């Protein structure tokens, strides 16, 4: 046990801390300390320098959002948000936590110490979080990147994009929020697959809708793909796009993710060909790489997020290594690239 990853557990409930400690220690972690408030958490992280922090959001003295921002500015550490509180302070705290630098979200157990599935999912996410590099001053670095000179090629390609498909996983919510904020409106339908725990799906869709002037819907079979609309698939079955411009249910494929980015991208290649624009964002694994290659093979435009701005350079790297990405761009250039491709083919 001496070689296990060290974790600081933060929650104002002693019972919840006990449940998390039992699960994490059973999975090979070592608990370096416990805190009941955000302020205590900051001091513990500074003194113990753990490999991981599990963070509640609604706590006395200093809440989890402020603690995450302080930790990521002063002592960057992978933070896994473990919470059951959907909303407070007038915003959706889950995704604000990701925007401030937390790595991922998991729901609190339904019973203590949690069902076997809940414990397994918590451990899997905790192990994943310890493997993700983090950077200091998350918000400051985003501002600096946004102010940097743009280097997007003047012309992306000859064909005007009539459909935009986007795939994202770990680190995706923050990038998608900034992308939609900058995009504001685009004269093409946008379909997004974001890997996420089902319980957070609806609040994620609602949260994205707060950050764009375009209507944001859950991607459901039968929905029409109208210009200037955003459809988000985050739970349930795979989805595809049809030649008639509708969302359809797609059969299951051998993939650890449902919905699958590859399934959506492959259908965009089949139905829209050179009129499709595929964008693959931050995430672990390789979902989306084959689908992006399919879009490229039909003459469609393909973009991958670059390594410097990706939380996890897994999916984009897989696409780049197989030659599927025509352009590799930082997050702050994605909106301009999409707008250019939709407006006039680049």
Comparing C-alpha atoms, which of 129, 101, 52 is closest to residue 284?
129
Catalytic option among 169, 260, 310, 339 = 169
Catalytic option among 11, 63, 195, 231 = 195
Please give the full DSSP string across 258-322, using - where no structure is assigned. SS-HHHHHHHHHHHHGGGEEEEE-SBSS-TTHHHHHHHHHTT-EEEEE-TTT-SSBSHHHHHHHT
Catalytic option among 12, 56, 262, 287 = 287
- Coil vs helix vs strand at 94: helix
Query: What are the residues whose beta carbons fall under 8 Å from the beta carbon of 79, sequence distance 6 or more?
Result: 52, 53, 54, 55, 68, 71, 72, 97, 101, 102, 103, 129
Cα 273-277-280 angle, rounded to 5 deg: 125
- CA dist 163 and 228 (Å) reads 10
* Spatial contact of 310 and 281, defined as CB atoms under 8 Å apart: yes
* Spatial contact of 25 and 3, defined as CB atoms under 8 Å apart: no
Query: What are the residues whose beta carbons fall under 8 Å from the beta carbon of 246, sequence distance 6 or more?
Result: 221, 222, 223, 224, 225
Positive or negative, the CA dihedral 265, 269, 272, 278 is positive
Question: Is 332 part of the annotated catalytic residue set?
Answer: no
Q: Which residues are catalytic?
A: 169, 195, 287
């Amino acid at each position: 046990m001496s070689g296990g990853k060290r974790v600081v557990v933060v929650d104002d409930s002693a019972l919840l801390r006990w449940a998390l400690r039992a699960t994490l220690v059973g999975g090979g972690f070592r608990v370096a300390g416990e805190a009941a408030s955000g302020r205590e958490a900051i001091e513990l992280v500074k003194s113990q320098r753990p490999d991981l922090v599990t963070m509640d959001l609604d706590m006395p003295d200093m809440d989890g959002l402020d603690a995450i921002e302080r930790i990521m500015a002063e002592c960057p550490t992978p933070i896994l948000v473990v919470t059951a509180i959907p909303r407070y302070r007038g915003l959706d705290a889950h995704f604000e936590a990701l925007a401030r630098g937390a790595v991922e979200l998991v729901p609190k157990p339904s019973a203590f110490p949690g069902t076997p599935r809940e414990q397994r999912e918590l451990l899997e996410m905790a192990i994943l979080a310890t493997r993700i590099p983090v950077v200091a001053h998350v918000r400051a670095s985003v501002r600096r990147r946004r102010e940097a000179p743009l280097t997007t090629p003047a012309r992306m390609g000859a064909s005007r994009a009539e459909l935009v498909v986007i795939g994202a996983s770990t680190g995706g919510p923050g990038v998608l929020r900034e992308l939609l904020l900058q995009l504001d409106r685009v004269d093409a339908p946008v379909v997004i697959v974001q890997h996420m725990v089902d319980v957070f799906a609806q609040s994620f869709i609602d949260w994205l809708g707060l950050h764009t002037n375009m209507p944001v819907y859950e991607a459901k079979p039968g929905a029409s793909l109208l210009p200037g609309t955003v459809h988000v698939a985050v739970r349930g079955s795979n989805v595809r796009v049809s030649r008639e411009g509708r969302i359809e249910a797609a059969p299951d494929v051998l993939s650890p993710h449902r919905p699958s980015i590859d399934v959506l991208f492959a259908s965009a290649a089949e139905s829209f060909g050179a009129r499709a624009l595929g964008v693959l964002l931050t995430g672990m694994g390789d979902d989306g790489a084959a689908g992006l290659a399919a879009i490229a093979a039909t003459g469609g435009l393909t973009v991958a997020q670059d390594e410097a701005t990706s939380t996890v350079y897994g999916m984009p790297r897989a696409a780049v290594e197989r030659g599927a990405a025509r352009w590799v761009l930082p997050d702050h250039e994605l909106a301009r690239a999409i707008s250019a491709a939709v407006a006039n083919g680049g």
